[in-house]
Amino acid sequence: MSADTPPDPQQLRAEIARTRAELGATVEALAARVDVKARAKEAAAQAAGEVKARVKAQARRPAPLAVIAAAAVGIALIIVALRRRQA
């Protein structure tokens, strides 16, 4: 389209359709940004997924502190049992 020739009606319709589609996409994006409840749910779901992944990773390997604590309890029980036998 030049400034000298009038625009073709089909070209105008196509341009209007493109503009409407762009405007619709922009409105949807803005609505998604404004929807605080949906954004909060999305953030909570993402955080829950991260926590689940960390829990699964921890479950695959025993925690060193738990192993040490279990060993200490076992040794303490053996010492108590030996002292009771001697008494």
User: Residue 25: pLDDT above 90?
Assistant: yes
Per-residue pLDDT of 39-69, as tens digits, reads 888 889 999 999 999 888 877 776 787 888 9
Mean of pLDDT over the chain: 87
User: Residue 3: pLDDT above 70?
Assistant: no
Per-residue pLDDT of 27-36, as tens digits, reads 999 988 888 8
Cα-trace Rg, the chain:
34
Question: Residues 63, 64, 69, 71: is their CA dihedral positive or negative?
Answer: positive
- Report pLDDT for 62: 67
